[in-house]
Amino acid sequence: MECCPKLFIETSVFNFYFEGKQGQKQKDAIWLFEAIAKGTYEAYTSEAVIKELRSASGEKFTQMNALSKLYFKMTLEPSLEAKRMANIYIAKGIIPAKFRIDALHIATAVVNSLDFVISFNYGHIVKTKTMIGAGLANLREGYRQIGLCTPTEVLEYDR
């Protein structure tokens, strides 16, 4: 029996956690990590996300990396199968080739049987076109659909 929903935490959630403006997105990112700490969710990320985080300033990267080590059950390595699925999303026009990394985030979560990709990326991840297109592609390739949502949506879902 599984304990709780498995979440793939994408780069933008880290950025809002440390944003500093105390806006709603930052509050929701903090609440999400608090829920993870309480065992409400299992959190995962990938080496691709960690690589993206490295582009942040030295101090911010140190903070974000520490956050990942504290809260994440595992950091996943994007597999050949995840890369194949990402290529399908791109070939089908679900995600533009220019944003291959976003396709890889979704695909890594899918092939590892996670339940949700959590992101504030409305351009290519948390978007109706992506949800429908990736869902259909996943089913065609023998995978199940996956939720693509913001921290706010997953937190409200469980309330």
Task: Report the candidate in 107, 113, 116 with the shortest Cα–Cα distance to residue 36.
Answer: 116
| Total domain count, the chain | 1
Q: Is residue 82 part of a domain?
A: yes
pLDDT for the residue 157: 64
**Confidence tier at 2 by pLDDT (50, 70, 90):** low
Q: Give me the CATH number covering residue 97.
A: 3.40.50.1010
Tokens of 69: 């080590």
Tell me, what's the pLDDT at 148?
Answer: 97
Token readout for 54 is 């490295």
Report yes or no on 89 lying in a domain.
yes
- Is residue 19 domain-resident? yes
* Residue 147 lies inside a defined structural domain of this protein: yes
pLDDT over 50 (residue 3): yes
Phi-psi region of 23 (alpha: psi -120 to 50; beta: other; left: phi over 0): beta
The structure tokens listed for 101 are: 């990394």
Could you tell me if residue 103 is inside a domain?
A: yes
Domain assignment of residue 117, yes or no: yes
The pLDDT confidence band at residue 1, using thresholds 50, 70 and 90, is very low
3-state secondary structure of 21: coil
What percent of the chain has a predicted confidence (pLDDT) above 90?
Answer: 65
Domain limits for position 144: 6-157
Is 1 within the bounds of a domain? no
Q: Is the confidence at residue 13, as pLDDT, over 80? A: yes
User: What confidence tens digit (pLDDT) does each residue in 21-53 have?
Assistant: 778 999 999 999 999 999 999 999 998 888 888
Model confidence pLDDT, tens digit, residues 110-131: 999 999 999 999 999 999 999 9
* Cα separations in angstroms, 85 against 39, 82, 129, 137, 155: 30, 5, 16, 8, 28
